[in-house]
Amino acid sequence: MVRPATAARREPRPDERERGDIVVGWLVRVVATLAVVGVLLFDAISVGTATMSVTDQASEAARVASTDWLAHHDQQSAFDAAWTAATQANATNTVDTHTFRVEKNGTVHLTMHRTAPTLVLRLLGPLSHWADVTGQGVGRSTS
């Protein structure tokens, strides 16, 4: 007895037909994409805000160093005052010793460095230098 080919096929039940594999796969891709974009956006904002704040903090440290210079006329004391102001503003700030200079009128020029607090960027070897931000500060005490 030969059965017709159509008799062997049965219609799938509704619960077998709609398992949701397509929706789950799509949702996983959307969530993964949003996570990657979120991390990249966080790192970019972190580097941007660190760059702006290190520049402001460098200017403030230069002004503090100028005030110290006008009071003591000692370059080491002025550098120490700048270093203290920089590290009080952010513990990871450093003042470059090679670029620190005081003019005769008391204007201080300095460069401040910091590594931005990023999630991924500072951990990626070839790209980690992008997380290192630098700010130039020039300041002169008004007193």
Taking only the tens place, the pLDDT of each residue in 105-126 is: 999 999 999 999 999 988 888 8
- In this prediction, residue 20 carries a pLDDT of 63
Q: Which sign, positive or negative, has the C-alpha torsion 128, 51, 82, 100?
A: positive
Residue 68 — pLDDT band, cuts 50, 70, 90? very high
CB 134 within 8 A of CB 52: no
- In this prediction, residue 137 carries a pLDDT of 95
When the pLDDT of each residue in the chain is averaged and rounded to a whole number, the result is 88
- In this prediction, residue 142 carries a pLDDT of 81
Q: Percentage of residues in the chain with pLDDT exceeding 70?
A: 85
Q: What would the mean pLDDT of 46-71 be, rounded to a whole number?
A: 95
- In this prediction, residue 1 carries a pLDDT of 58
DSSP string for the chain: -PPPHHHH--PPPHHHH---HHHHHHHHHHHHHHHHHHHHHHHHHHHHHHHHHHHHHHHHHHHHHHHHHHHH--HHHHHHHHHHHHHHH-TT-EE-TTT-EE-TTS-EEEEEEEE---SSGGGSGGGGGGGEEEEEEEE----
pLDDT over threshold 70, residue 16: no
pLDDT over threshold 60, residue 95: yes
CB 108 within 8 A of CB 78: yes
- In this prediction, residue 18 carries a pLDDT of 61
Place of tokens 């203290």: 84
